[in-house]
Amino acid sequence: MKVQLVRPPMNFCTPGQMEDNVSYPVGLCLLAEAVREKNPGVKVEVIDGHKRPMDEVLGKIDGDVVGATCIYSNYDNALAVLRHAKERGAMTVIGGANVTHIGKRILANREFVDLAVVNDGEDALPEIVSGKAGYGTPNLVYRTMGGQIMESPKRNAPLTTTFDLEDLVDRERWKPQSIPVSGIRGCMKAEKSSLCDFCSIDHKLKVMNPELMWQQARILKGYGFDYLWEVGETLFPGYLNELLKTRPKDMGDMKWKFYVCADLVNEDFAESLKQLGTKEVQMGIETPNDNILKMVNKKSRLSDINRAVALLDRKGIDIHAAFMYGLTGETPESAQRTYEFAKSLVSEHPNIKKITTSHAVPFVGTGMFNRIVGNDRARNEYSGDLERDDKFDYEELTRLYDRHFTSVKFEDMAKLVKQTRELMNGRGYGTSFAIGPGDGK
């Protein structure tokens, strides 16, 4: 039996969007390990379609079970992979961040997709491969014999599996700067209060045993990686300190990248980051407007942002700063203020080496998306069906959001996105996220 797990190439992205923030598809490598642990003798391949033409990716598809992972900007290609696999007689499975809130819709609209995994797949995929998947399989969307679409109860994985890169086909063709690890899933802030308005996480907070994380780091060091990117939503002090406390003596040269929230960054936190060997943090600044930050459920405020940036600057830790335009309540004045604030930070703090700036996009599963659905005028203006579609025109949804929940024109915010990105010209790395195929040119 042969299982193939595929990351399809992007359907669209802005220039450079997927360069700094792309590495090997290690989530698929983790799933491959989970499959082999419970299904000895099964051959597993991880096919990385990054920067590959689709016909080349499709030419590799010959598995008995084929799974594709997707985000919003490669969803069409994920569907193309599974359609091709189904034509060859494979069982087809879809998963990834884009699937979490639309698994039942996908099976209703795409007859060539047999199963959807929503949320963690470490428990579900091995059971799918063994032929034992059903209602008792966590995080599974499936069809009954009578054609009814069902969803099993959700259950988060225990984070006890480590991975290697042996199943990754043709990994020698490129080597990323850093490699992701996943020791944190979920968000502490969301656990204690609520999600940010633009966030669609649906995962209880789970953390990996820090000693096991160092075992994972040692495995990846064997492949020549000395820079780990913890892709968990938010690093918090307890886990950071445990990583420091349990660090083996021979792993002192390992460098790290983390996502951090400004309100958690104090002197002790910044010093611990430095002691661990943190090279860079990615920080969602979004806007300096405290009223908007409050409306969108961000915990950080302007004073937190200024303190965090200054502390990290003094500790010699680079910052990848993220700014957003078009959050709930945005006005022409607040949008311009965000740009001026970004400009001042770049001028005053040389440790800001990267900027990602974008429209606030009402992705499915976010409070923003639900606000459009709950607004009769906005919902009726949308060209599709927000309650049944599995694919969305996110540029149209963003324009709708701007029209009904801000007082700024889409085109004006697009100019500010571009100007903010260009603050890094000649200085570092600036990018933004494409909303659709025509965006970012």
Over residues 117-161, the pLDDT tens digits come to 999 999 999 999 999 998 899 999 999 999 999 999 999 999 999
Q: Give the span between the Cα atoms of 18 and 25, in whole angstroms.
A: 13
Per-residue pLDDT band for 429 (boundaries 50, 70, 90) equals: confident
Reply yes or no on whether the pLDDT at 439 is more than 80.
Answer: no
Q: Is 173 exposed, middle or buried (0-12, 13-18, 19+ CB in 10 A)?
A: exposed
Q: Among 99, 130, 129, 101, which residue's Cα sits nearest to residue 116?
A: 99
Please report how the helices 302-314 and 267-276 are oriented relative to each other, as an axis angle in degrees rounded to 10.
40
What element of type H or E holds 48?
Answer: strand 43-48
Given a cut of 50, whether residue 54 has pLDDT beyond it is yes
Query: What phi and psi values does residue 65 have, to the nearest 5 degrees?
Result: -125, 125
Strand, coil or helix: 255: strand
Q: What is the pLDDT of residue 441?
A: 40
Q: Amino acid identity of 414?
A: A
For 411-425, write each residue's pLDDT tens digit.
Answer: 999 999 999 999 998
Q: Strands 318-325 and 278-286, how do they pair?
A: parallel
Q: What is the mean pLDDT of residues 262-267?
A: 96
d(CA 312, CA 265): 8
Distance in angstroms (rounded) separating the CA atoms of residues 28 and 69: 8
pLDDT confidence tier of residue 16, bands split at 50, 70 and 90: low
Q: How far apart, in whole angstroms, are the C-alpha atoms of residue 138 and residue 17? A: 33
Confidence of residue 187 (pLDDT cuts 50, 70, 90): confident
Between residues 25 and 50, the one the model is more confident about: 25
pLDDT band at 426 (very low <50, low <70, confident <90, very high): confident
CA-only gyration radius of the chain, Å:
22
- Tokens read off for 27: 């989530």
- How far is residue 254's CA from residue 231's CA, in Å, rounded to a whole number? 16
- Supply the pLDDT for residue 204: 85
Token output for 164: 């290697």
Domains, the chain, ordered by start: 2-151 (3.40.50.280), 177-431 (3.20.20.70)
DSSP label of 293: H
Give the integer Cα–Cα distance in Å for 366 and 323: 18
Contact status, residue 260 vs residue 253, Cβ threshold 8 Å = no
- Distance (Å, rounded) from C-alpha 317 to C-alpha 163? 28
Mean pLDDT, residues 300-323: 97
CB 81 within 8 A of CB 6: yes
Q: State the DSSP H helix or E strand holding residue 257, giving kind and residue range, or none if neither.
A: strand 255-260
Structure confidence by residue, pLDDT tens digits, 66-113: 999 999 889 999 999 999 999 999 999 999 989 999 999 999 999 999
